[in-house]
């Protein structure tokens, strides 16, 4: 009888396939995370982990054909127009991009290796390298290792700096001043020279006229560093102060107890404490997370606490009380911090979800060996849950040393990195050329898609950042301990690429903010913003405002990067122009003070962002 039943089931299944029926009902084989259904056409393959997807990984080894669309593990390679113009969640068609997977274009040259970057004005990017023999020369004849990059002309202005900025950290003050702190040892040769930077602090007051310069080691004791910090993380707190965490006492391949600086401090120092009496605060977490604890990731939370991640460990911490509030479960899969460097990001916040803070961590490496495989897994944790747990997912491709940036529409772009080895000079191999894009709102297992690849290898010391025009700045990569332009597998890279996301190439005219946005705004302030959607003949206006801070970027760590959706209500319409009352974030716990960029999006197509100081 059992054999007869099994034969009947097989015959029935064969009948379904022979008739060309689509298995998408609850009676069909089920993919584990698809609500008891077979996978749909747009994400046809039931991966070995039980998620529906359309990537090479999902449709490859271990794919469950019986639970896949039409009983086959075959990717959906339908035309870009069919896929892009599918109705959105509201049933309306979406704008059609002419570049459905975006495009990279080389636009300039950084002059100095782009190891760190900071967007200091809407048109100026600071490029910060270590002291080394870059081809560009200062008036003194020595090689430059800092530059200001003009995003309009793609030209550079060389900057003189006395201290070694190698592997430093950075953050912004409420007035827009950028702070760079920490660095490395004294370096001098006939080609370049730099004083030690381990305890150095630098200030950059932005300007647009080409006159601003670094101010180093200010005499004010409020800015005195208390010890060496190499690979230090800096985060802007809701108070506007800078939270400075961790690092090593010296340059090394991996941290250890003897070199670890397991402390935190605040810049500027409290006015009522003498600099000589100020002591940094010990943090046990920075001992527990050894040896992979350099450049820890820090995010401020809605309740005023902060979240800290290093290695596989994380916790919620109260700065004012110097107290651990809650330890999170370890993230499965392997270490995710230097030198087994993964990508980390705070997902864009949404007032409709009560600004729930969700952290996404992807990639890393399985070991500190030349042939170690990069990690493919991702963990996502919602800190608003009563019992936060890591929800696991997979990228289309393993990735180590990648960058994760929030795009203007709130999706996350992963780019740069490699598939084998670990972070450090000449230790990475097999570059990842193809960006992966993560949609936080999509169902688990269907969140990743891949875009157009670059043809430039960008691994150790690569950077990327969203620009005010909605495109992506991509630069850097130096696998070598010194500048090497030939006779090495991966020469020092100076080319700048601009990546155009699909949303900048659609058949919908790009919207524009046409009213003057105040240069300075306060929390909960209601700002009148008039936008021009240009055309309503094909797509009914669907407007969203997004506010973001770009942060300081180095070594796959995007310090203080965050984004939130803003509450907005239309108050007046005249032709294609619509006036909105846009409400700034309710408090500094949601978006700490400092420089921000506000995009307006119409049906997912962003305007050029307005720059403002939020205080």
What per-residue confidence (pLDDT) applies to 86? Answer: 41
Question: Residue 176 region, left (φ>0) first, then alpha (ψ -120 to 50), else beta?
Answer: left
Distance CA 182, CA 165 (A): 7
Instruction: Give CA separation, 117 vs 125, 215, 296, in Å.
Output: 7, 17, 18
208-239 pLDDT, tens digit each: 999 999 999 998 889 989 999 999 999 999 99
Residue with more model confidence, 59 or 521: 521
The b-or-e profile of 427-449 (16+ CB within 10 A means b, else e) is: bbbbbbbbbbbbebeeeebbbbb
13 pLDDT exceeds 50? Answer: no
Residue 83 host element (H or E): helix 80-84
Average pLDDT for residues 578-585, to the nearest whole number?
A: 98
How much is the pLDDT for 49? 75
pLDDT tens digits, residue range 441-488? 999 999 999 999 999 999 999 999 999 999 999 999 999 999 999 999
CA 278 to chain centre: 34
Instruction: Inform me whether the pLDDT recorded for 78 exceeds 70.
Output: no
Q: What does the pLDDT average to over 170-196?
A: 96
Res 447: pLDDT: 97
**% residues pLDDT > 70 (the chain):** 92
Task: Look at residue 584 in the predicted model and tell me its pLDDT.
Answer: 98
**Residue 350's pLDDT band (boundaries 50, 70, 90)?**
very high
Task: Give the mean pLDDT of the chain.
Answer: 91
* pLDDT value at residue 43: 81
**Higher pLDDT residue, 194 or 94?**
194
What is the tens place of the pLDDT at every residue in 43-66? 888 888 787 888 777 888 889 888
Least confident of 34-43, 139-148, 260-269, 388-397: 34-43
Which of 42-56, 292-306, 327-341 has the lowest average pLDDT? Answer: 42-56
Q: pTM score > 0.85 for this model?
A: yes
* Cα–Cα distances in angstroms (integers) from residue 212 to residues 52, 365, 408, in the given order: 52, 40, 29
Asked if residue 337 has pLDDT above 50, the reply is yes
- Angle formed at CA 416 by CA 329 and CA 478, multiple of 5 degrees: 110
pLDDT at 1 over 50: no
Task: Classify residue 472 as exposed, middle or buried by CB count within 10 Å of its CB (0-12, 13-18, 19+).
Answer: buried
Task: Count the Cβ atoms, other than its own, within 10 Å of residue 39.
Answer: 32
> Across residues 127-146, what is the average pLDDT?
97
User: Quick one: pLDDT at residue 271?
Assistant: 81
Neighbours of 90 (CB within 10 A): 8
The per-residue pLDDT for 36 is: 58
CA distances to 89, 250, 326, 510, 544 from 536, in Å:
19, 59, 50, 12, 16
Contact 348, 440 (CB under 8 A): yes
Average pLDDT over residues 68-86: 60
Question: Is it the case that residue 27 has pLDDT exceeding 70?
Answer: no
Which positions ≥6 away from 238 have C-beta within 8 Å? 300, 304, 587, 588, 589, 592, 593
75 pLDDT above the threshold of 90: no
Terminal alpha carbon distance of the chain: 76
SS3 sequence of 296-363: CEEEECCCCCEEEEECCEEEEEECCCCEEEEECCCCCCCCCCECCCCEEEECCECHHHCCCCEEEEEC
Identify whether the C-beta of residue 177 lies closer than 8 Å to the C-beta of residue 204. yes
Task: Give the CA-trace dihedral at 116, 118, 119, 125, to 10 degrees.
Answer: -50
Confidence of residue 35 (pLDDT cuts 50, 70, 90): low
């Amino acid at each position: 009888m059992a054999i007869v039943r099994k034969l009947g089931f097989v015959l029935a299944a064969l009948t379904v396939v022979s008739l060309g029926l689509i298995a998408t009902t609850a009676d069909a084989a089920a993919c584990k995370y698809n609500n008891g259904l077979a996978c749909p056409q747009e994400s046809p393959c039931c991966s070995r982990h039980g998620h529906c997807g359309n990537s090479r990984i999902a449709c490859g080894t271990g794919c469950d054909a019986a639970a896949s669309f039409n009983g086959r593990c075959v990717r959906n390679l339908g035309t870009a127009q069919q896929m892009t113009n599918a109705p959105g969640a509201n049933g309306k068609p979406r704008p059609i991009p002419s570049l459905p997977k975006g495009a990279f274009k080389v636009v300039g040259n950084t002059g100095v290796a782009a190891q760190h970057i900071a967007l200091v004005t809407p048109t100026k990017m600071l490029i910060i390298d270590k002291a080394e023999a870059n081809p560009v020369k200062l008036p003194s004849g020595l090689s430059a290792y800092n530059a200001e990059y003009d995003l309009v002309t793609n030209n550079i202005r060389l900057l003189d700096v006395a201290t070694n900025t190698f592997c430093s950290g950075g953050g912004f003050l409420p007035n827009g001043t950028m702070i760079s702190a920490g660095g490395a040892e004294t370096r001098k040769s006939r080609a370049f020279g730099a004083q030690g930077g381990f305890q150095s602090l630098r200030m950059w007051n932005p300007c647009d006229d080409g006159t601003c310069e670094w101010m180093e080691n200010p005499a004010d004791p409020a800015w005195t560093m208390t010890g060496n910090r190499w690979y230090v993380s800096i985060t802007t707190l809701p108070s506007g102060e800078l939270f400075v965490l961790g690092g090593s006492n010296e340059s090394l391949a991996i941290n250890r107890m003897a070199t670890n600086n397991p402390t935190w401090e605040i810049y500027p120092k409290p006015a009522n404490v003498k600099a000589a009496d100020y002591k940094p605060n010990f943090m046990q977490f920075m001992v527990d997370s050894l040896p992979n604890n350099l450049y820890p990731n820090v995010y401020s939370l809605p309740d005023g606490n902060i979240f800290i991640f290093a290695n596989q460990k994380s916790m919620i911490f109260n700065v004012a009380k110097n107290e651990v509030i809650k330890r999170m479960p370890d993230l499965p899969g392997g270490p995710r911090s230097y030198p087994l460097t993964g990508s980390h990001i705070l997902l864009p916040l949404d007032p409709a979800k009560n600004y729930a803070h969700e952290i996404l961590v992807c990639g890393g490496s399985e070991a500190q060996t030349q042939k170690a495989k990069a990690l493919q897994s991702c963990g996502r944790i919602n800190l608003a849950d009563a019992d936060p747990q890591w929800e696991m997912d997979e990228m289309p491709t393993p990735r180590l040393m990648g960058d994760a940036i929030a795009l203007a529409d709130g999706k996350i772009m992963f780019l740069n990195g490699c598939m084998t080895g670990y972070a450090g000079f000449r230790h990475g191999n097999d570059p990842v050329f193809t960006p992966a894009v993560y949609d936080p709102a999509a169902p688990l297992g269907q969140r990743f898609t891949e875009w157009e690849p670059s043809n430039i290898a960008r691994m150790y010391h690569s950077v990327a950042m969203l620009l005010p025009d909605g495109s992506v700045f991509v630069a850097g990569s130096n696998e070598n301990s010194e500048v090497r332009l030939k006779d090495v597998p991966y020469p020092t890279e100076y080319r700048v690429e601009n990546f155009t996301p699909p949303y900048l190439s659609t058949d919908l005219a790009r919207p524009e903010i046409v009213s003057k946005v105040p240069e300075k705004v306060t929390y909960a302030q209601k700002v009148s913003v008039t936008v021009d959607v240009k055309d309503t003949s094909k797509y009914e206006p669907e407007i969203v405002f997004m506010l973001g801070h770009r942060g300081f970027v180095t070594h796959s760590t995007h310090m203080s990067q965050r984004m939130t959706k803003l509450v907005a209500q239309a108050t007046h319409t005249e032709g294609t122009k619509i006036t909105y009352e846009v409400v700034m974030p309710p408090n500094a716990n949601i978006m700490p003070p400092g420089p921000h960029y506000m995009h307006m999006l119409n049906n997912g197509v962003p305007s050029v962002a307005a720059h403002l100081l939020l205080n």
